[in-house]
C-alpha cells in the first residue's frame, strides 16, 4: 500500500469517526439554540389532549409509525406531492393515523420562538413523551437532534409497520428488525392501554368464536360492530374496556382474560414466548411503565438523520 493510499484511508476513517460522533442524539441539543423548545411543544399539545384524551394515544402512535419507516425522520408527516408518495395512505395508516394538526400547531408555535431550528421529527418524539405523561403514563428524557427527511416511502410503510392481524412471529421479526427486543415489543404494545380501534380491525376476531377470546367480551363488542362489512367499519371501541383513558397496566390484565381487542394484542398472551412478560406487567405496573419508557427511548434512536443529513422543514407536511 502506497503512502498516499494509507493517508487517504486514515482520512476516511477520521471522517467516518466524526460522522459517528455527530450522529449521537443529546437531551441538551436545544439548550443553547432554542432553550424554550420543549416547553413550547408541551404547552401546544396539552390543550388537544385535554379536549380529547384519545389524542394522547394518537400522538404516541404517530411517533411509532414514523420511526418504523425510514427511521425517526418525520417522513410520516409528508403529504403527497409530485415527488413524494405519502406514507399516510399505506394500509396501516390510511383513515387511522391522527394528530397531524396537533403536530402542525406545535411546529408553528416553535417556529415563532426559534425559526428553522427544531425538527418535526423531534417534535414528534417530544409530543409522544408529553402525551404519555399527561394521561398518567411514564415520562422519560427525550434525546434530540434529529433532522427531517426529504423523502417518504409508502411501500416501506406497507411492509414494515405491524398489522392488526399479525402473528406473534411476525411481530417479533418486525420489531427485531428495528433493534427492539421481545420485551421492548410487549412494553410498547402496552400503549394500547389508551386509545380506540375501528370495527374493521377487530371484526374477524370477535366473530371467530375462537378459543382465544372471552365469549362475553366478544358479545359486548359485537353490539357496535356488525358482522357484515362495510356496515359499522368505522365504529370505535376502546382498546382497554376497563380504563380506556388512563395509562395503566389493565391492558395486560385484559390479555390474561382473553380480552385483547386486536388479534395482534392477544397473540402476546397465547402460549408463546411473550406470555411471561405479559404476566409480569399485569402484576407490576411500575415495571411496565419503566420498561415502556426505556423502549420509547430505544425506538427514538432508530436511524435518525443528524448532522448535515436531512433538513429542518419549515412546515411538517412538505419539503422546503
pLDDT value at position 209? 84
Distance CA 37, CA 149 (A): 20
The percentage of residues in the chain with a pLDDT greater than 70, rounded to a whole number, is 93
Residue 294 grid cell: 426505556
Q: How big is the CA angle at 157 (ends 188 and 99), to the nearest 5 degrees? A: 65
The three-point CA angle 45-50-55 to 5° equals 65
Q: pLDDT grade, residue 2 (50/70/90)?
A: low
**Arithmetic mean of pLDDT, 114-135:** 98
Across the chain, mean pLDDT equals 93
pLDDT 10s digits, 72-104: 999 999 999 999 999 999 999 999 999 999 999
Query: What values do phi and psi take at 293, rounded to 5?
Result: -60, -45
Grid coordinates given for 43: 404547552
| Better-scored residue on pLDDT, 63 or 20 | 63
pLDDT tens figures, 233-260: 999 999 998 999 999 999 999 999 999 9
In this prediction, residue 255 carries a pLDDT of 98
Q: What's the pLDDT at 9? A: 45
pLDDT, average across residues 39-50: 98
Q: What is the pLDDT of residues 264-299, one digit of tens each?
A: 999 999 999 999 999 999 999 999 999 999 999 999
- Give the residue numbers annotated as catalytic, written as ranges: 65
Mean pLDDT of the 49-60 span: 96
Pairing of strands 236-238, 196-198: antiparallel
Query: Is the Cβ–Cβ distance between 199 and 233 less than 8 Å?
Result: yes
Residue 117 has pLDDT above 80, yes or no: yes
Query: Above pLDDT 90, what percent of the chain?
Result: 91
Q: Please, are residues 194 and 239 in contact by the beta-carbon 8 Å criterion?
A: yes
Residue 305 DSSP symbol: B
Per-residue pLDDT band for 13 (boundaries 50, 70, 90) equals: very low
The predicted pLDDT at position 23 comes to: 54
Residue 210's pLDDT is 87
pTM: 0.92
Residues 6+ apart with CB under 8 A from 68: 160, 161, 174, 178, 302
Do residues 172 and 182 touch, judged by C-beta distance below 8 A?
Answer: yes
Amino acid at each position: 500500500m502506497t503512502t498516499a493510499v494509507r493517508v487517504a484511508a486514515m482520512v476516511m476513517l477520521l471522517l467516518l469517526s466524526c460522522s459517528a460522533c455527530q450522529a449521537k442524539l443529546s437531551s441538551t441539543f436545544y439548550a443553547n439554540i432554542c432553550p424554550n423548545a420543549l416547553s413550547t411543544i408541551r404547552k401546544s399539545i396539552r390543550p388537544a389532549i385535554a379536549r380529547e384524551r384519545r389524542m394522547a394515544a394518537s400522538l404516541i402512535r404517530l411517533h411509532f409509525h414514523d420511526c418504523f419507516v425510514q427511521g425517526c425522520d418525520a417522513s410520516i408527516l409528508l403529504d403527497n406531492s409530485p415527488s413524494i408518495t405519502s406514507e399516510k395512505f399505506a394500509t396501516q395508516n390510511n383513515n387511522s393515523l391522527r394528530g397531524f394538526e396537533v403536530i402542525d400547531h406545535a411546529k408553528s408555535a416553535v417556529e415563532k420562538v426559534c425559526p428553522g431550528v427544531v425538527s418535526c421529527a423531534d417534535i414528534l418524539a417530544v409530543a409522544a413523551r408529553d402525551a404519555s405523561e399527561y394521561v398518567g403514563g411514564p415520562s422519560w428524557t427525550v434525546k434530540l437532534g434529529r433532522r427531517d427527511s426529504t423523502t417518504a416511502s409508502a411501500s416501506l410503510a406497507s411492509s414494515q409497520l405491524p398489522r392488526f392481524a399479525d402473528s406473534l412471529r411476525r411481530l417479533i421479526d418486525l420489531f427485531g428488525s428495528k433493534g427492539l427486543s421481545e420485551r421492548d415489543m410487549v412494553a410498547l404494545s402496552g400503549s394500547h392501554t389508551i386509545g380506540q380501534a375501528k370495527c374493521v380491525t377487530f371484526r374477524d376476531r370477535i366473530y371467530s368464536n375462537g378459543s382465544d377470546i372471552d365469549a362475553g367480551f366478544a358479545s359486548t363488542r359485537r353490539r357496535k360492530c356488525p358482522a357484515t362489512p362495510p356496515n359499522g367499519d368505522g365504529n370505535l371501541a376502546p382498546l382497554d374496556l376497563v380504563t380506556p383513558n388512563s395509562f395503566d397496566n389493565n391492558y395486560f390484565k385484559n390479555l390474561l382474560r382473553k380480552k385483547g381487542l386486536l388479534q395482534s394484542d392477544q397473540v402476546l398472551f397465547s402460549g408463546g414466548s411473550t406470555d411471561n412478560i405479559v404476566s409480569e406487567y399485569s402484576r407490576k405496573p411500575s415495571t411496565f411503565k419503566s420498561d415502556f419508557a426505556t423502549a420509547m427511548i430505544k425506538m427514538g434512536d432508530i436511524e435518525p438523520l443528524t448532522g448535515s443529513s436531512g433538513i429542518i422543514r419549515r412546515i411538517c407536511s412538505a419539503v422546503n
